[in-house]
Structure 1
């Protein structure tokens, strides 16, 4: 923060969506008293923010128009579109800083709310650390838009999601399918993509397009009726949570879609492993199965990995209701619905397959056939990244004691160590049990040398992937969490000069 006693104050002034009567009293006062009024303007366009506040700007006040050099991704700037905007924001901040340093009060006008998808934020980032700054909130455009449609957006426990239309189509469709009410901003040229995403999510029939909310030129209509060639940037889409009213039931407290009536012939229930993460590690068989089912059931982050398409219903739930989730899927299949239960990695390795068979022991599900589709497991993924550490006999253990006592885990660790098997450790640590991996290391060191090779794979297959090769003696257990899979080598496991790990096929 600047120490200059005479430095001016910087205001980010929210103006609301367009109707001057929606400007707050505080915003009106700040505008009327400011020494400098600043506002952004598009290429070859008048500033919309200034037009909203025009009657409040006094004669003779200093005005700073911050005109964008470019509004699309096409530019001759050596840094491209991002570089052109970065330079523009730096220059704009420098212009405002001159006034602030001279002791003038600067009010930067912002449509809607200054901190909601607004240009003000870029000035805030550059000036708030050096000058006293105050943000005057404004009415967001989507509030005026929902008022225009006069239909409730969300009720009670409904979830509202605000989405930029610039998201990739598949991501947009998934998020629309996974929420109750939604607001989609930043339309314009993105509108055709947004409309396709709404259709894929099954929300198109309940989506309303609102243009210039609260402005005299405001208009709104169902998205299905919009001419996509005439959609301005100052428009948005409202998807009411009411569109899902009466269409939901629950899995152990989690909201999901309902079942239909029982039928004479149950459908086959598929249990599908999605692999550790990358889409190209998903098997063609799994891809084909997911393209044919009408329901996907699973833990939220895994359901989120399934591309949304028209007609697909998604049923996400928490991480500790596996059997409830399995019963729900079996009930859907019993009623003739095409269902896939999804699981990360391979569904048969600490995944949903066992939970489905556990739930299927209930005689009411005796007529539901279950088929498990294999997938790449986390242990395979980490081993492949490391080299060939599981090229000989190996064992797999989960350190989670949620379904078995810790004494049983310790007994198995000792047996594996005594048998000199390579060991893959799933669920090595969590917030509720951060010390178990340290205890496991101590148990293993009772039977293994300190120089035993250890591989730690974190987020393997994802952008944040890391692979660490260390030893049992040097293993930093504090750095390990649920995102990791740990491979502890056998006595014969070795490391090549290039750092790859492998275990000979023969017993030494």
Structure 2
């Protein structure tokens, strides 16, 4: 009979925080294993050593490297993969011999713990049980007496090793946060907190529950003194409404003044382009650097750099009018606001939704200004060559806001007029037949060898561009990430690319 593998969380460092079940298993173990950093004592062992039974076999699993620098032929990842395989083999030998193995884990075994890599390799072969432990962030909030989340607050746990702009964005988008893995990352984490407007309320906790524990505001921490065993707590604290603006509440006007008394209001509608930062116009960049609020669909907001004083208001993809009204409410209250839209906001973007919402007399004092962006059709056309060099039309295949009969009528009119056609929103998970139907309708008027360009994720890392024909187009390969350009009779494919002559023969 094989032995049992136990992953036991020993908490953040104080032996008194080990659970009773964990203590019982440690005290009765045949083998106790623990990880240790290169050249360092194992913190898990130090925490639990007082519970070790006499004569227990110890297995120290010492990491060969702690940073990315190694001469291993597989690099850092290869060195760690070999280490985990060797460690698993050492533990498997004990388990095969019928000995129970307790593998200690700092904090909780399944929360950024090394135990997980042994679990991946051994749990399918041996009886395994996991005993949870107190995670460091729970002990840190207790030590600092900092309530972390209340009611419907959202908590985000972030590693300090994230890219600084991404870390700042996520800090701005959540109610409460924990940032782990500090040490050398602390300066970047501090900058990200400042950019997210969260620095003033952020708490730094070091060596929680261990000798030398201390906590203080992040703003007062000397970066040169920060150890790896430190974390940042950003409380949610919704009692004072500090986060309510990011939840969609309307900002109130100054006391004693009505909205009508406020200075003339303006709402910007900003086009972000199809994706790459290089396709964002200087005008749009300057506008986003000056506003205090950005409103938009979540993935588009992700592309707006976070900075101090900027509040983000994310929403889903099908609530355009609600989003527009919220932005108008903010602007009417005197806030500097931008609604962001992918591509150009006037091409199947947020501009029309904002103008529709702005028809309400309540927003009569709010001026709307649209800042254009590079549209998806321009981006795909540029990648292909010059397929829209002559007259062209743009149609969306989405029938969410118009009947499909209208879409078909417009497709036939464009095809009969021999216009180049750019097709937006060709398909989605719930709309799978429209591309095939559009292909059939167009073939009623166009030659089977009519040029078709399929651009997918143009401007992004996974970009692809396919040139095919109207008859050769496979609708099953088209999804929402695609934009199609169907050529006119004169559109041609040459060595230089796809292009449509500006002239038309009579």
TM-score grouping bracket, smaller chain normalisation: over 0.9
Aligned partner of 1:501 in structure 2 is 498
Other structure's SS at 2:158 match: strand
Match for residue 454 of structure 1 among 427, 438, 452: 452
In structure 2, the CA distance between the partners of 1:240 and 1:507, relative to structure 1 (3 Å rule), is same
Match for residue 183 of structure 1 among 166, 178, 189: 178
Q: Does 1:42 align with 2:43?
A: no
Match for residue 395 of structure 1 among 373, 393, 396: 393
- Residues 248 and 255 in structure 1, CA contact (< 8 A), matched pair in contact too: no
Residue correspondence of structure 1 range 220-231 to structure 2 within 5 A: 220-231=215-226
For the residues of structure 2 that align with 1:28 and 1:257, how far apart are their CA atoms? 52
Residue correspondence of structure 1 range 162-241 to structure 2 within 5 A: 162-241=157-236
For the residues of structure 2 that align with 1:245 and 1:433, how far apart are their CA atoms? 44
Q: Does 1:106 align with 2:101?
A: yes
Aligned partner of 2:286 in structure 1 is 288
For the residues of structure 2 that align with 1:318 and 1:436, how far apart are their CA atoms? 23
In structure 2, the CA distance between the partners of 1:147 and 1:398, relative to structure 1 (3 Å rule), is same
For the residues of structure 1 that align with 2:447 and 2:306, how far apart are their CA atoms? 50
Q: Does 1:152 align with 2:147?
A: yes
| Further displaced range: 333-342 or 240-249 | 240-249
In structure 2, the CA distance between the partners of 1:75 and 1:248, relative to structure 1 (3 Å rule), is closer
| Further displaced range: 58-67 or 489-498 | 489-498
In structure 2, the CA distance between the partners of 1:243 and 1:188, relative to structure 1 (3 Å rule), is farther
For the residues of structure 1 that align with 2:299 and 2:425, how far apart are their CA atoms? 16
- Residues 17 and 144 in structure 1, CA contact (< 8 A), matched pair in contact too: yes
In structure 2, the CA distance between the partners of 1:46 and 1:258, relative to structure 1 (3 Å rule), is same
For the residues of structure 2 that align with 1:323 and 1:165, how far apart are their CA atoms? 37
Residue correspondence of structure 1 range 262-341 to structure 2 within 5 A: 262=259, 263-341=261-339
For the residues of structure 2 that align with 1:249 and 1:361, how far apart are their CA atoms? 27
For the residues of structure 2 that align with 1:419 and 1:101, how far apart are their CA atoms? 77
For the residues of structure 2 that align with 1:193 and 1:338, how far apart are their CA atoms? 28
Using the TM superposition, give the Cα deviation of residue 166 of structure 1 relative to its aligned residue in structure 2, in angstroms: 0.8
Using the TM superposition, give the Cα deviation of residue 128 of structure 1 relative to its aligned residue in structure 2, in angstroms: 3.2
Using the TM superposition, give the Cα deviation of residue 384 of structure 1 relative to its aligned residue in structure 2, in angstroms: 1.8
Other structure's SS at 2:346 match: coil
Aligned partner of 1:258 in structure 2 is 251
Aligned partner of 1:376 in structure 2 is 374
| Further displaced range: 90-99 or 256-265 | 256-265
Runs of 5+ in structure 2 lacking a partner? none
In structure 2, the CA distance between the partners of 1:33 and 1:504, relative to structure 1 (3 Å rule), is farther
For the residues of structure 2 that align with 1:133 and 1:465, how far apart are their CA atoms? 44
The alignment yields a C-alpha RMSD, in angstroms, of 2.2
In structure 2, the CA distance between the partners of 1:334 and 1:256, relative to structure 1 (3 Å rule), is closer
Match for residue 439 of structure 1 among 437, 441, 460: 437
- Residues 206 and 243 in structure 1, CA contact (< 8 A), matched pair in contact too: no
For the residues of structure 2 that align with 1:95 and 1:230, how far apart are their CA atoms? 37
Other structure's SS at 1:451 match: coil
Aligned partner of 1:3 in structure 2 is none
Tell me the matched-pair count: 500
For the residues of structure 2 that align with 1:245 and 1:488, how far apart are their CA atoms? 55
For the residues of structure 2 that align with 1:426 and 1:490, how far apart are their CA atoms? 17
Using the TM superposition, give the Cα deviation of residue 256 of structure 1 relative to its aligned residue in structure 2, in angstroms: 5.3
Q: TM-score, normalised by structure 1?
A: 0.92
For the residues of structure 1 that align with 2:486 and 2:123, how far apart are their CA atoms? 50
In structure 2, the CA distance between the partners of 1:319 and 1:229, relative to structure 1 (3 Å rule), is same
Runs of 5+ in structure 1 lacking a partner? 1-5
In structure 2, the CA distance between the partners of 1:257 and 1:41, relative to structure 1 (3 Å rule), is farther
